[in-house]
Amino acid sequence: MSSLLEKVKRFEPPKEKKFLHTLFEGFFTFLFTPDITTHGKGVHIRDRMDLKRTMVIVVLALQLCYIFGTYNIGHQHFLALGQHVAFLEAVHLKLLHGLIKILPVFIVTHIVGLGIEFFYAAKKGHGIEEGFLVTGALIPLIMPPDIPLWILALAVAFAVILGKEAFGGTGMNVVNIALLARAFVFFAYPGEISGDRCWVSGLEFEGTVATGEVYGWVHHLFDGLFKGLGLATFGDGGAAVVDGFSGATPLALAKGGWESVTAHYSAAQMFWGDLPGSVGETCKPAIMAGALMLAVTGIASWRIMLSMILGAAFMGIMFNWWGFDAHMNMPWQYHFYMGSFWFAMAFMATDPVTASNTNTGKWIYGFFIGVLGIVIRVMNAAYPEGWMLAILFMNVWAPLIDHFVVQANMKRRMKRARVVAN
């Protein structure tokens, strides 16, 4: 391996060429372990974990969400057309349609985000940081599958420049960058992320439309192969949205109470993710598997996860006690079936940069995210989900929470010291 490293290092541009050197160093450290390590003797803390490995573990924890989310894009699309309605029917078409939708979102996110990171790294004269690896993996999962790419590019640029680089880069940001990108879309272009139909791809058409207007050349590129294998192809049976299809999410229906939700979706559908929604936020088992992986490896705080569950449950029970309307009367436990609670808990609230760092602070931070998220979900008719705003709000308060926790610890220890001295 050392000989391979030496051969690759021969192509390293001189440091005077800032951009090329930064670009080379970024890809080199991504592919290989850096050759600068802590000395093996003395009192230094030595650990196999570094920023790159930390980010890679989070990205790996997201892979089940990507696999299911990609397939669900295609499945919800064909449900809208009344075709291949069984979940495991026409798997090839659903996967391909999902890939056609999510790959451009993934590519644009990384081109814009990494391009900005490379520029700032070269300008500052330091190596490329791996902080965007997780942000770039999260953003496609929290966006609608049909989001216009130019809006996505603006959102990523806004979030990375004003939310991260303006504060000093990786590890210095105050709020979660992926959520900031989604907040930009929500407030600047609400029509692209609000309502019912935005969560199901290909619903910009009404009634019967010619196949070529619904599917592009990429879809039809594989039709010959599918026909040769005796499989269904795109456009079989026409392309018309079925009568009565709304694409409404459970959160939109929940304003009418739990009965309105279950009239369209069963509890099993909501748990397994067979419903419209953001790309990676619907399948609870996939998210829970990722959360378990992050908790076991110590990448994410189980205290934040557990306290967020307790906070949401507490607020749901309080609303049940109040019982002002149908949404408040919805049994508190059903809030965990709907929306993006589990994804927000596992991958957003636990961001180590923007969350509280003290153990006591983590309990407070997570609990209030759970409380505020349910309050926004139930009380705000214009915004049926609350986790984005709740987490961004608590991101701002996290340093103050830690400050008071540290001050309380110092006062408690000073009291003990005075007692011992006396």
Q: Are 221 and 84 found together in one domain?
A: yes
Q: Are 162 and 23 found together in one domain?
A: yes
Note the pLDDT of residue 227.
87
Phi and psi torsions of 381, nearest 5°: -65, -25
Is 135 inside a domain boundary? yes
* Contact between residue 105 and residue 146 where contact means Cβ atoms under 8 Å apart: no
Nearest 10 degrees: CA dihedral of 235, 237, 243, 244? -60
Note the pLDDT of residue 159.
96
In terms of Cα–Cα distance, which of 3, 24, 2 is closest to 13?
24
Q: Are 220 and 322 found together in one domain?
A: no
Note the pLDDT of residue 196.
67
Note the pLDDT of residue 14.
62
Is 202 inside a domain boundary? yes
Q: Are 28 and 137 found together in one domain?
A: yes
Q: For residue 105, give both structure tokens.
A: 């979102």
In terms of Cα–Cα distance, which of 366, 357, 358 is closest to 394?
366
Q: Are 304 and 421 found together in one domain?
A: yes
Q: Are 55 and 190 found together in one domain?
A: yes
Is 25 inside a domain boundary? yes
Q: How far is CA 214 from CA 81, 226, 282, 389, in A?
A: 11, 18, 25, 35
* Contact between residue 24 and residue 47 where contact means Cβ atoms under 8 Å apart: no
Q: Are 320 and 207 found together in one domain?
A: no
Q: Are 204 and 342 found together in one domain?
A: no
* Contact between residue 324 and residue 330 where contact means Cβ atoms under 8 Å apart: no
Nearest 10 degrees: CA dihedral of 375, 377, 383, 388? 80
Is 40 inside a domain boundary? no
- Distance, CA of 262 to CA of 246 (rounded, Å): 15
Q: Are 320 and 399 found together in one domain?
A: yes
Is 284 inside a domain boundary? no
- Distance, CA of 360 to CA of 9 (rounded, Å): 46
Is 239 inside a domain boundary? no
What is the span of the domain harbouring residue 112?
13-32+50-194+197-230
Is 274 inside a domain boundary? no
Full pLDDT tens readout for the chain, 422 residues: 556 555 655 656 665 555 555 555 655 555 555 555 555 555 555 555 566 678 889 999 999 999 999 999 999 999 988 889 999 999 999 999 999 999 999 999 999 998 998 888 877 776 666 678 899 999 999 999 989 999 999 999 999 999 998 888 877 899 999 999 999 999 999 888 876 667 888 776 444 443 445 688 888 888 888 888 889 888 766 667 787 777 788 988 888 889 999 999 999 999 999 999 899 999 999 999 999 999 999 999 999 999 999 999 999 999 999 988 888 999 999 999 999 999 999 999 999 999 999 999 999 999 999 999 999 999 987 777 889 999 999 999 999 999 999 999 999 888 887 777 66
Is 259 inside a domain boundary? no
Note the pLDDT of residue 211.
41
Nearest 10 degrees: CA dihedral of 49, 108, 72, 191? 120
What's the sign of the alpha-carbon dihedral 88, 105, 145, 283? positive
Q: Is 268 helix (H, G, I), strand (E, B) or coil?
A: helix
Q: Is 208 helix (H, G, I), strand (E, B) or coil?
A: strand
Q: Are 17 and 125 found together in one domain?
A: yes
In terms of Cα–Cα distance, which of 197, 161, 211 is closest to 181?
161
Q: What's the domain count of the chain? A: 2
Q: For residue 369, give both structure tokens.
A: 């995210």
In terms of Cα–Cα distance, which of 343, 345, 238 is closest to 302?
345
Enter the pTM of the model. Answer: 0.86
Note the pLDDT of residue 137.
95
> What letter would DSSP give residue 190?
G
Q: Are 221 and 309 found together in one domain?
A: no
Instruction: Tally the residues of the chain.
Output: 422
Note the pLDDT of residue 51.
66
Q: Are 324 and 202 found together in one domain?
A: no
